[in-house]
Amino acid sequence: MITRHYWLLVVGALSLPTMAKPSLAPDTETVTALTNAEIHISATEKRNNATLLISGNKVIDVINNDAIPTDAHIIDMQGYVLLPGFIDPFTEYGIEFNYTYPDINGPVYSVNTLGGQAPNTAVHAQQKWVQHFSPNPTTAKNWQQNGFTSVQTAKHDGLFQGQSSVVSLAQKPANEAIINAYSNPLLSFNKGSSPMDYPESLMGAIALIRQTFSDSLWLKDNRNKPNFGQQALAPAFNSAWQAIAAQWQQDWIFNGGDLNNVLRAGALLRQQQLSGILIASGREYARLNEIKALNYPFIVPLNFPAAPKVEDADIALDTSLAQLRHWQSAPSNPAQLASANIPFALTQHGLEPQEFWPRVQLAVAKGLAPSTALAALTSVPASMIGIDDKAGKLAAGYFADIVVAKGDIFTDGHIVGVYLQGQANFSELTPTQANLAGEYQLEFGDHSLVLALDPQTLANSSLQVAEHNIGLIAPTLDNQRLSFAVALDDTRDDVSRFILWFDHSGVHGRVYNADGNPTPVGGTRIAPQASPSEAAKTLTDDPLTITFPNGAYGRAQLPSSEKLHIQGATLWTSEQSGILPETDILIENGKISAIGKQLTTPKGFTLLPAQGLHVTAGIVDEHSHIAVNGGVNEGTNSVTSEVRIGDVLNPDSLNIYQSLAGGVTTTQLLHGSANPIGGQAQLIKLRWGESANNLKFIGAPGAIKFALGENVKQSHWGDEYVTRFPQTRMGVKTVMVDAFDAAKQYQQQQYAWQQASNRSKNSTIAPRIDYRLQAINEVANGKRDVHIHSYVQSEILMFLSLAKTYGFNVSAFTHVLEGYKVADELAAAGAGASTFSDWWAYKFEVYDAIPQNACLLNDKGVVTSLNSDDYSMQRRLNQEAAKSIMYCSMSDIDAWNMVTINPAKQLGVDHMVGSLKVGKHADIVLWSDYPLSVYAKTQTVWIDGRRYFDRQQNQQMEHEIITEKAKLIQQVLQSDTKRRDGDAEIINIEPEWHCDSHYQHAKAQQLFNGDHR
């Protein structure tokens, strides 16, 4: 007996409880045969005109149409496509939860947590989101209408966000909807709702993640040792560490944010040797080789930007080349990932439900193969979230999660509905009803009529009688039963009533004439109604232009190392030889290979006549804050030596190119001056177009920023900032002393452990790695240089005394505007001074500054340099050096040394850069004029013998920028609605950093406003 199949899903039916005798007979479930369909078993396997058998919530098999079991309920899927249910691996579905915290004004340095949770409220690794999951039929439709049948869900809040859960979108009780209770743990760089100040910067977030991973690994490696809880180094209970240790071998999903943060997220996971999955930024195409080198799969949101409003000429002027390129390139990001063989899944994250499929179809039109798109919705996410043995294909034993579609959904087709673990859920006509569309020849009595049936709009249906179309009265279609009345003649005196049933054999039923007597009706289909379909539109945008960085002044190719003979220039050597007129210099393999008069051009070298021009070593800046993402201060704690500027380098910063054009080739990027002991510095070379990692100056000693004065005691931070210690200059020294003492004790523990026997190590808890104390310990051991923000003489003397007590040298007192008062003491201690040319009176501790400071320090034998501390001043450090000639008659050579060899000495790289000497790096600048003149312009700047700036090339790039922008604006203006729609582009808008800049990285998302290029 064939059981009648109902398509409508019944939810929440109520019945009174009854006493029933339990049955020992097994439940039997109807076998349903979805026949005559195009069945995509997987992204790579398809069968045409086949049958899918399902029973309960599982697939039984895919078979030929002629092999259907006799007792199966048959549903004709002629003209429909069946695909595996889609899987979204990155959602917050069914999680109605928010963290609650006390309402506290002012900075929050600590919060009382519950149940042994991590002391930092941005760390929620202990959360198991299955415990907070509750199915929501309303929000489930947001995914169901797009073909999704299961999702991975968790609350996206914090750095360590907890462990997600995989659930079905079927309307079942929570315990039945859960597919994988404990799936991927989640990470981000955004501290979310945490009220605590730390971390306030991106580098602080990275440092906290790194330390938490280290602590959890330490726990994992030590917790099984005998008497773990009773040993001296046993930690207080920390549920987050426990959870991370248990999740160590899982795939961590990391939502970094923008492209640079995606690369940072991948690097951080690799440092921990963790498996991972990265959430794409949408800009992976711009650094595809770096992305591929991470060797991680991706989850890809389709966050395509809306077309810039370039119809307004003023807005067009302020629209950057980078913004226009991204509008053009973003839809091709999935195709670019596929071309690089980077596996990825698609997610609806960040989109309104109705936006999803137009974006998928746009991605396909921009080159994404439909089979790859289908895999990104099925098998790839199934594998990512650990359900590839249950979902992601239509195979025996898999969930009966089925997408029912009309046409090719990747071009112009659409989704009709889904089966959710065997439960039908359709947003329009069922496939059976929709398949009834067409014309039927009806025969009854002496009549032969044609029924034209439109199930979608029954009012459009009609009976054709003697070439006249007669409308139906009150047509009703219930499953496969059609009823209606019709006047078979114009008088309407004889209204007949029809009841018709449709099945695979045709049409049969009854007609009741005016006398009420039934007459049998039979019929056959004449021709099915064909649904018109347009050929897929292929978008014909011009080929993508990718440069490094991918915006104005970016390079299509990085410069190659040159073999160059610069002939007849005036050489400013910054060595004892001084200034050499009409002298030649050879560079080869990134080094200076020869200096001399009238040198012969070696074979294979390019000759560059330079008579009347000047050649210098590249300018070196001891103190800068350019090219940093997410904040330059981690100003929350008094000691933040665990944070690293090297973690947050921004290779896309236009400041790199602008400073390069000013002759700067090396700069130290320092942490700000918000705390007595700040973060670790990073020395970089301004290799414009390189990756963040390739900006780093290899072989340079490590450095760290310390600070004294008004900033560190929060003198100008406002009335709320009065609780963090220190608040006085005396307290500043105390903080430093406590830190060095703690670091000394830490070193003793580490040393004792290293000297212990293996037997002892097997039973004794190892001391925990503390990255904060580790960095301070490196200072005490002479392995990390100190550059200290300073102003007044009393504090300078205090720190010299403290350095002597703990046995380390000071590489440079930076700013040091009262340095002239203590020049003898600085010289005796071997401490450098990096000062400003003529800044004074901008705050109280600067009142005694004088423009002769540099001269007086230099005259006393202090290694003296000038620094910028400002992105704009860095471009004209040559002019800053000239000021000392004006103020106090410093020699040309000494003035130039203050921006070349002297800062190189302070940075410990003077054996590599800072002067023109054979064997040193070919970091050289060709100037049009006397380099200390305001009229001097850089002609060419080489770093490691590679031409990173050239004035003629710059002029050509200016022309190309104008041309390309005009072309892209025309593309926008001529594009159709499909290409104009999109999201407002969101990026972090960061200020130009200074020592005292403060920035809440997690709260800095703003609308992109371009870079005015």
What is residue 997's predicted lDDT score, i.e. its pLDDT? 72
Q: What is the mean pLDDT of residues 798-807?
A: 97
CA 577 – CA 584 distance, rounded (Å): 14
**Does 1009 score more than 50 pLDDT?**
no
Q: What is the mean pLDDT of residues 873-890?
A: 97
List CB contacts of 297: < 8 A, sequence separation 6 or more.
277, 278, 342, 343, 344, 345, 380, 384
Tokens matching residue 3? 């059981």
What is residue 458's predicted lDDT score, i.e. its pLDDT? 81
DSSP E strands, 248-383: 252-255, 276-279, 298-301, 344-347
What is residue 456's predicted lDDT score, i.e. its pLDDT? 75
**Cis peptide leading into residue 726 (ω within 30°):** yes
Which of the four pLDDT bands, split at 50, 70 and 90, describes residue 392?
A: very high
**Does 262 score more than 80 pLDDT?**
yes
What is residue 716's predicted lDDT score, i.e. its pLDDT? 83
**Does 686 score more than 70 pLDDT?**
yes
What are the helix (H) ranges across 226-280?
239-246, 259-271
What is residue 344's predicted lDDT score, i.e. its pLDDT? 98
Tokens matching residue 142? 């947001």
What is residue 23's predicted lDDT score, i.e. its pLDDT? 36
What are the helix (H) ranges across 147-201?
174-177
pLDDT digits (tens, 9 = 90+) for 239-253: 999 999 999 999 999
**Does 1 score more than 50 pLDDT?**
no
What is residue 335's predicted lDDT score, i.e. its pLDDT? 97
pLDDT digits (tens, 9 = 90+) for 273-303: 999 999 999 999 999 999 999 999 999 999 9
pLDDT digits (tens, 9 = 90+) for 630-642: 999 999 999 999 9
Question: Is the pLDDT higher at 39 or at 1011?
Answer: 39
What is residue 16's predicted lDDT score, i.e. its pLDDT? 27
What is residue 501's predicted lDDT score, i.e. its pLDDT? 85
Q: What is the mean pLDDT of residues 706-735?
A: 90
CA 598 – CA 579 distance, rounded (Å): 16
Which of the four pLDDT bands, split at 50, 70 and 90, describes residue 1008?
A: very low
What is residue 1006's predicted lDDT score, i.e. its pLDDT? 35
The number of C-alpha atoms within 13 Å of 807 and in the hemisphere containing its C-beta is 9
Which of the four pLDDT bands, split at 50, 70 and 90, describes residue 4?
A: very low
**Does 851 score more than 50 pLDDT?**
yes
**Does 537 score more than 60 pLDDT?**
no
pLDDT digits (tens, 9 = 90+) for 924-950: 999 999 999 999 999 999 999 999 999
**Does 21 score more than 80 pLDDT?**
no
CA 806 – CA 796 distance, rounded (Å): 16
Tokens matching residue 80? 């429909």
Q: What is the mean pLDDT of residues 498-514?
A: 84
Which range, of 383-387, 479-483, 979-983, averages the lowest pLDDT?
979-983
pLDDT digits (tens, 9 = 90+) for 569-603: 999 999 999 999 999 999 999 999 999 999 999 99
Q: Which residues pair with 33 in a beta bridge?
A: 53, 74
- 3-state SS, 666-714, equals EEEECCCCCCCEEEECEEEECCCCCCHHHHECCCCCEEEEEECCCCCCC
Q: Contact at 8 Å (CB) between 896 and 616? A: yes
Q: What does the DSSP 8-state code read for residue 628?
A: B
**Does 855 score more than 80 pLDDT?**
yes
What is residue 998's predicted lDDT score, i.e. its pLDDT? 67
Q: What is the mean pLDDT of residues 795-813?
A: 97
DSSP E strands, 249-337: 252-255, 276-279, 298-301
Question: Is the pLDDT higher at 725 or at 348?
Answer: 348
What is residue 377's predicted lDDT score, i.e. its pLDDT? 98
What is residue 995's predicted lDDT score, i.e. its pLDDT? 73
What is residue 991's predicted lDDT score, i.e. its pLDDT? 72
For the chain, the maximum distance between any two Cα atoms, rounded to a whole number of angstroms, is: 125
Element (H, E) at 522: strand 518-528
Nearest to 853 by CA among 874, 871, 867: 867
What percent of the chain has a predicted confidence (pLDDT) above 90?
Answer: 72
Nearest to 145 by CA among 347, 304, 351, 357: 357
Q: What is the mean pLDDT of residues 965-994?
A: 76
pLDDT digits (tens, 9 = 90+) for 861-877: 999 999 999 899 999 99
**Does 761 score more than 50 pLDDT?**
yes
Average pLDDT over the chain, rounded to whole? 90
CA 101 – CA 103 distance, rounded (Å): 6
